[in-house]
Amino acid sequence: MAYQSFPGVRGDSDSIGKWIALQLTERQIKGKDVLDLGCNEGFFCLKMFELGAKSVLGLDYSEKYIERAKTHLLPEHENVVIYRQENWEKLSEYPDNSFDLILCLSAFHYSTSPDWFKKDGHHRLLDNVMRVLRPDGLFVLEVGMIDSTEKNWIPIQRIADVVYHGTRPAMLELLNKTFAKVELKGPSVNQGGDPIPRYVFHCFKTKQGSFTQTVILLTGDPGAGKSTLAEMICEGNAIYNLNVDGVLMTMSEWSKNENLRQMKLQPSRLKTASLEISRQFPTPFVEDFVTEIIEPIKEKVIIADSYTLGIPAIKERLVRRLHSAGYRVWQMNKIPSENFMDSMTPGYPSHALNALKYRYRDEIVDTQSNPAVQELLSSLAASITKGLIVEIGVLGGANLLHLYEQAATAGNRIVGIDPFEKIESYNGIPKNEVDANMRLMTETNYLQNRLQLERIIEKHKLNDIIQLIPETSETAVSRFNDQSIDLLFIDGDHGFHAVLTDLMIYYPKMKQGSLIVVPNTSWKSISSAVGSFCEENNLTSTTVNDCFLIRL
């Protein structure tokens, strides 16, 4: 039986399922030079041709597979799809910046024996992939990965051979050591005869990733200030401001409607017009809108200002089409103040994955603290000299980095406590109650945060001031002497019991006159925990910049 599956020919591998798991779009393939490492019988090479690749080169060490791949070639593939029997070592002879897209699917484990690794921990194949990849290129890796918190490469006995598979920390460390940006896209299909589950990574040569445009849907009622906000955001920036409602009202399919023509310049009647549009929004028109209006725009960020696109029937079709075309899609909408609290339901997905960004020198890290909270921490730390500042819940390390210069001048030490990928609950939700795939994505995100922060601390020689403790707060508390901490910032698990536990067990570690800061006053679980702690210990709290301040 063949390994790959083709139309009408079933193989050992679910090629279509694997293709879906790769999450590649036509925009990432069309007009690109593609290399498939370990191409096997050529299924994915032909898929690249089908989606408009400029050239496709498939390499495989097996003469048998290369000959089978050639049997699938048709006259129209000539001079576009080429197969070569080559060892991956030959990649070192290829010129720099040769390919836009490189695939390595279900094959990387053939290059994970110890002789593939250099003394500095780099990998010979991955270093060559990085070199031949163009600056805005993408490397897609589908690979077996062992779900473990230990960092190891483990030999696995398969039916026919023994191969090495990396644990999640080992794989991520290797990829992050080589590529500027690494994204875990999710699980791939299972493979018979291989007991290790497989996952798909997108790896980029630059921090910006491949040239993927972002469409931001800025929606809201007429007169809410959408256009003004769009103009403010776009001013002075390389962002395209697209007034969608104006465009939609003048496109030919709708301009035939006399009622719409009369409404198009009357904002007060735009809701009525948009509801009429939603009934006339056929799928072919979505295609026209994307190809004729969106795709010609070259800016990397497009703000689509529109009431109409906020209508679910329209938004659903448009977003699906934009995703299929390879766009990243975000939505911005005005949140009414009276409904804001009701929309804030504690839970791990939004808190764990949707972080703000903080720049430290040439680095960008995740943070959950907005600038106002960081400035509050700076002002509180300004009165401390030769003291100890502790943060529970580090995430990307933005607060540690933000306080570094000030701490170095004042002779303070900063300690960050976070279990990172070894997290046991998500804002009060036990780990075993969380969807397995979502948990994997979240834990992988945390692991990448830890690896990046450790690299930044080492690169910029910050370890004279900053100490990172990758443990739970309950485990780490034994490392501190009583009455040793001057400022404690608690921003870990937001569940009631987790916050209350942190307050209770670190209370004896605080100096007299010290401060505990707990952000997110709007979370009921946090406000309840702070209230219970203060009542139990006869303390009071004040609120500043969305933070509870407890003076001891």
pLDDT at 251: 55
Segment 102-116 mean pLDDT: 91
182-200: pLDDT as tens digits: 888 888 887 766 678 899 9
62-77: pLDDT as tens digits: 999 999 999 999 999 9
Mean pLDDT (the chain) is 82
| DSSP-derived secondary structure letter, 41 | T
pLDDT band at 232 (very low <50, low <70, confident <90, very high): confident
Structure-token pair, residue 77: 């593939």
Is the Cβ–Cβ distance between 318 and 286 less than 8 Å? Answer: yes
CA distance 33 to 211: 15
CA distance 244 to 254: 13
pLDDT at 480: 96
Is the Cβ–Cβ distance between 389 and 414 less than 8 Å? Answer: yes
Segment 338-364 mean pLDDT: 53
Q: 375-406: b or e for each residue (b if 16 or more CB lie within 10 Å)?
A: ebbeebbeebeebbbbbbbbbbbbbbbbbbeb
pLDDT at 63: 93
pLDDT at 484: 96
pTM (2 decimals)? 0.63
Structure-token pair, residue 387: 């003291």
pLDDT at 391: 97
pLDDT at 260: 40
**SS3 assignment, position 8:** coil
Architecture per CATH, 15-204 = 3-Layer(aba) Sandwich (3.40)
User: Of 183-187, 279-283, 439-443, which range is least confident?
Assistant: 279-283
* DSSP strand pairing (81-85 vs 55-60): parallel
- Domain coordinates of the chain in residue numbers? 15-204, 214-334, 348-551
Q: Which fold has domain 214-334?
A: Rossmann fold (3.40.50)
pLDDT band at 437 (very low <50, low <70, confident <90, very high): low
Q: Identify the CATH homologous superfamily for domain 348-551.
A: Vaccinia Virus protein VP39 (3.40.50.150)
pLDDT at 496: 92
pLDDT at 434: 66
pLDDT band at 276 (very low <50, low <70, confident <90, very high): very low
pLDDT surpasses 90 at 317: no
Same fold, 15-204 and 348-551: yes
**SS3 assignment, position 243:** strand
Is the Cβ–Cβ distance between 308 and 248 less than 8 Å? Answer: yes
pLDDT band at 131 (very low <50, low <70, confident <90, very high): very high
Segment 41-70 mean pLDDT: 94
User: Of 253-257, 474-478, 491-495, which range is least confident?
Assistant: 253-257
